[in-house]
Structure 1
């Protein structure tokens, strides 16, 4: 009887909290991509504008592309850290 009660509680818990969807990984992957792409593309356009309007001895576009990649990587690292922390706290003990 204890075995049946444990199975029933486990099924009830699974029904009430189905866990994370397998598609969530794709969403996180997409979010990481956008986190890097948006600052990089933004840096590119700002760099092109600055190269036309405020020429310097260095190339603004290259500098801001690298800055965008660095900023995007930091943002992506924050997302990954959050996901790892969230998924680590979701484990249930029987």
Structure 2
């Protein structure tokens, strides 16, 4: 006796497999993009503001011929840019790895 292709057991198995794949690999959410912008913003703003506060303290305690505030703000922007770049690189590699599993 031959087995039918569209048996209820096969249909249930295929549906369960699709549901499992949907749970394991959800589609891209619009909120994920907002989260990325937030992460990039924080990774740049925290070192910049930290540099400004450290620069204010250094200007009061160790005055120099240059402004510590400006130097450390620029340093914070550069450091934050590197942090953001590293985070974006890591996320894009993980995304490529996830898509390569198909």
TM-score normalised by length of structure 2: 0.75
Alignment of 1:1-94 (within 5 A): 1=5, 8=14, 11-22=18-29, 23-91=31-99, 92-93=101-102
- Bigger relative contact order (CA 8 A; separation at least 6): 1
Gap runs ≥5 in structure 1: none
RMSD (Å), alpha carbons: 2.2
Matched positions, count: 90
TM-score normalised by length of structure 1: 0.81
Larger Rg: 2
Task: Give the 3-state SS of the residue equivalent to 2:98 in structure 1.
Answer: coil
Q: How far apart are the structure 2 equivalents of 1:15 and 1:66?
A: 45
Gap runs ≥5 in structure 2: none
Cα drift, residue 49 of structure 1: 1.2
